[in-house]
Structure 1
Amino acid sequence: MRRDDLTDATCGIAQALGVVGDWWTFLVVREVAGGTTRFDGIQAALGISRRALTERLTHLVEHGVLVRTPYSERPPRHDYLLTAKGEGLLPVLLALQEFGDRHVLGDGAVTATAAASSAEAQRVHDLVGHRVADVGLPAHTGDEVRLRPAEGWRVVYFFPGAFAPGAQAYPAGWGDIPGAAGCTLESTTYATHHDEFVAAGAEVVGVSSQRTDQQAAFAEHAGLPFRLLSDVDLRVGTAMRLPAFRVAGTDRYKRQTLLLDPTGTVRHAQMPITDPAGSVTEMLSAVRELAG
């Protein structure tokens, strides 16, 4: 269906579907957002025919969702990259993922964790061996940090949210959400073992969907010696399909941790994390084994 064929010209939903109106198109955007930007890679990931993929890529370029950037003149080859307009689809992908994880793959309950046998946990562990999205995020210290380390190893722990007393109250019912509690304990345990991680060759960073001012208040309160990164739109999570949940109108990361080598490749993953403090010592052992 062409956009011009839609009779509801004033409805944003109808008009958006004129641009991304079939499931293949959403999956193409998902792959590009995750760093698979070349034709053959997208085709291999999706198993779509070359003709169908060509049609959808051409359509997305024509509508300004993707832009073609040449990387070879002979033969002519291109990378397909998201434009600012294309990045506007990322929250839509996140909403679809949350709906699928919660209502299709899950039982409909709001949870900040997942069973070890769940599709969400499997998705996180499947990241081992893959490079993370090269996304820049603002840190609570005021600088921007690329998710891929510039050098050395990096532990990236994703957490639902932690607040300094008096800075902001936790959402109502926070303690009743399985897996939500424990962010302060996890962060302070990383702080306690920070020098050991550094000695083993790894930097520690935490990522949540909180604002940087909220993170700064918590980091000062907890005495954290490492940076917290703010991903308010869950750009990293959307690109890497990281499990998330929604509560009180805000999307938040489920608790999960990745160990990245100097190339930004995932070498170890933790999900689910049922013991926040114990997961830190387990990750320290993994760092010593893999990075030592």
Structure 2
Amino acid sequence: MSDDFPLPNDLPEPEDDREADHLQGIEMPEVSLPTTDGTIVDLQELSPRTIIYIYPMTGRPDKDVIPEGWEAVPGARGCTPESCSFRNQYDDLRNNGVGAVFGLSTQTSEYQREARDRLHLPFEMLSDAEWELTNALDLPTFAIGGENYLKRLTLVVTGGHIEHVFYPVFPPDEHANEVLEWVTETPLRDSPS
């Protein structure tokens, strides 16, 4: 378990509601998203193997932005520990054939940049603030406090197709280990099926 922002033992576990079943094997849509370093990423051009971990939102130490009741929503809490776990496993993921790692939320790049810098993440975050990818892929969401948020999931994208989907993700602070294990046990094929 990660020492970065430890999670409580009684964190509610999300159930598999089958809302991500349609994603396995499909082509990434013609969507380009901004990153925290100011570049634009064409999601159809991701190769050879890219990890995109999708999370609801990160909080900030200088602002109270977490909606009331957040702790009780299964799968909502843990975005910062999850990002730290991908930071900690980043070199091992890259050494095992992963071309890139991205975090993705519907927060703006400016907002995400604070978390990237504060957490010393060695990768960029993708902003889907306009909900382009969310709508194109019909990604699972939840609502709290009158706002919609992405449910936590991870896409392994290879050659413009979704090779694998991790959903639901729990516990978030150990998820990068699960992804690394899958990557090391799953050889990269010449073309996705």
TM range (shorter): 0.7 to 0.9
Cross-structure match for 2:90? 194
CA distance in 2, matches of 1:113, 1:264: 31
CA distance in 1, matches of 2:138, 2:26: 13
Cross-structure match for 2:24? 128
Deviation of the 1:134 alpha carbon:
2.5
TM superposition outliers: structure 1 runs of 4+ over 3 Å: none
CA distance in 2, matches of 1:264, 1:150: 6
Structure 2 residue runs of 5 or longer lacking an equivalent are 1-11, 189-193
Larger gyration radius, structure 1 or structure 2: 1
| Aligned partner of residue 151 in structure 1, secondary structure | coil
Structure 1 residue runs of 5 or longer lacking an equivalent are 1-111
Deviation of the 1:126 alpha carbon:
3.3
CA distance in 1, matches of 2:139, 2:181: 23
Matches within 5 A, 1:10-89: none
Q: Say yes or no: does 1:236 pair with 2:133.
A: yes
TM-score (norm 2): 0.83
Cross-structure match for 1:108? none
Distance 1:168 1:216, change over 3 A: farther
| Aligned partner of residue 245 in structure 1, secondary structure | strand
Deviation of the 1:114 alpha carbon:
4.6
| Aligned partner of residue 148 in structure 2, secondary structure | strand
CA distance in 2, matches of 1:291, 1:233: 34
Question: Residue deviations 1:153-180, cap 9 Å, x none?
Answer: 1001110001231055322222222211
Cross-structure match for 2:3? none
Q: Say yes or no: does 1:115 pair with 2:10.
A: no
Q: State percent identity of aligned pairs.
A: 30
Contact 2:106 2:127 in 1 (8 A): yes
Contact 1:163 1:214 in 2 (8 A): no
Cross-structure match for 2:6? none
Amino acid at match of 1:133: P
TM-score (norm 1): 0.56
CA distance in 2, matches of 1:150, 1:254: 22
Deviation of the 1:205 alpha carbon:
0.4
Amino acid at match of 2:82: E
Contact 2:85 2:175 in 1 (8 A): no
CA distance in 1, matches of 2:36, 2:13: 25
CA RMSD across the alignment = 1.9
| Aligned partner of residue 186 in structure 2, secondary structure | helix
Higher relative contact order (CA 8 A, sep 6+): 2
Cross-structure match for 2:121? 224
Contact 1:125 1:270 in 2 (8 A): no
Distance 1:219 1:211, change over 3 A: same
Deviation of the 1:113 alpha carbon:
7.5
Q: Say yes or no: does 1:154 pair with 2:40.
A: no
Question: Residue deviations 1:70-99, cap 9 Å, x none?
Answer: xxxxxxxxxxxxxxxxxxxxxxxxxxxxxx
CA distance in 2, matches of 1:133, 1:113: 30
**Higher-helix-fraction structure:** 1
